[in-house]
Structure 1
Amino acid sequence: MSRWYRAYAGTVKDDKLAEVAVIAACSRSVAIAVWHALLESAAETDAGGRFETTPRRVAAALCEPAGTIAATFAAMAEIGMITGDAVSAWKTRQYESDKSTERSRRHREAKLGQAKRNGEAALQQRCATPSESEAEADSQDDSAGAASSAPRAPDLDLIEAERRCAEAAGSERLGSFAPIAELLHRQADLERDILPVIRARPASGGRVSSWKFYGPIIREALLKRAPAPASQGPPKVFVVKGTAEWRERVAAGHKPGMTTQDPRTKAEGWYFPAPEKKDKAA
């Protein structure tokens, strides 16, 4: 592939070339042609501006008298456009990046850098993508998690809870803390119910990429606990949500809290106060 060189706008009107034409007693077109012949030779030589052509060769190429071209060379040397057999300002006007080898090197480096960035992005994507088991657990959890992840004012207790959970998990990059915050709002105990589960399955091994992973495990542990001892207040009965009994109790003024699941049947409902027993007639 042929070498090329930079030719700047304004060359035809350049004052130095006009001066060369005056000194050498030649036309400006000859001065311009000689100048480009020197630049072309320097580009082909590719040695920091050194040219190998001679006044006689340029005269033959341009079909001009040898004496005229020799005078043009001398005029260019006189005003500093060339020094010996080299273009004086070559390194300031012609760039290393113009060389095909340099362009190839930079192209390879750019491709290598892009490949590295793509690899890092792919790694982050893989780390952020839950496994199939986590995805299945997430799907059971999405509707409840969406409500609790809505924007709200910062909660200092939750901030501290998130810090402690992240410390137990060995990672601060598990996404939104909403799944754990929801469990705390449902009266899960941080020390008894949540932290032991997280410590038993730390995220530092790369197996866990989201707080949602812990949700089903913590809920299962909560269901194994007795709902409430009989000694704590009046007896209660579990009523399945949406049944006739549920509607009757709500109509009677009983206000259910956030629904929960029956430990045995897994049905969704609420613990209402048990109806009072009536004495049988004698």
Structure 2
Amino acid sequence: MTARSTRRPVGAPGWIDISVTDPDRSKAFYREVLGWDYTGGQEEFGGYLNATVDGLAVAGMAPPMEGMPEPPHEWTVYLVVADAEAASRAVTDAGGTTLMSPVSVGPFGTMALHADPTGAGFGLWQPGSHQGFEAYDVPGAVAWTEAMVGDFDRGRRFYADVFGWTYEDLSEGDMRYAVARAPGEDRSGTAGLGLVGAGEGPYWSVVLQVADTDEAVARVRDAGGRVTTEPFDSEHGRIAEATGPDGERFALMRPPTA
């Protein structure tokens, strides 16, 4: 396992979470599929749970907020910011929309929810005591995230203007895709940015690492999830796509062994 002792760079994905209808059902599903354990759940923080792998935080999960409309059930990717208020203003100045203005989450940090100009929703996270991801390059942790935008050029400009992203464009023919890097990112890439498929709405995609994609797909089915794309091999690893208990979509990937 690779533990992370420092936060992700500003502008990089630093956390994911989801609002679920039935926390016990969702906890059981992801425990079976990914081996997650859980901490947290205190009432003063809305029952929010941290999913862990060997004691290291990898994702968040929350029950519906009492008296509030039920939110969409989808994984939210949070980008790390130094100042949530300033970053939120930069989002709107660049043509994004505000879904939830910055709010303090006790000592843990400050969060906000936005959508980019093409409609893909994401979050901002200004870390306090909660630094975000504590593990990577390990089964059960996030392996990759990507913004699947409705307008490729506009999406590129937006994330560059607000988060300082630079790009390695990998587009070929009608396929539009780039690997993005945040300032100070020392790994092969920060996130991906691609053009969403015809008939799909823009969204942020979450890819979760597994030791064996085919075995993980079997666990998805056994746990009551649905496999939407059967396992296939790519230069990045063996990948499959699935949905969880509330219909939330995610991908599973075993990285290349070399």
Return the TM-score normalized by structure 1: 0.18
Greater fraction strand: 2
Greater fraction helix: 1
Structure showing greater Rg: 1
Give the number of the structure with larger relative contact order, counting CA–CA contacts within 8 Å between residues 6 or more apart.
2
Return the TM-score normalized by structure 2: 0.19
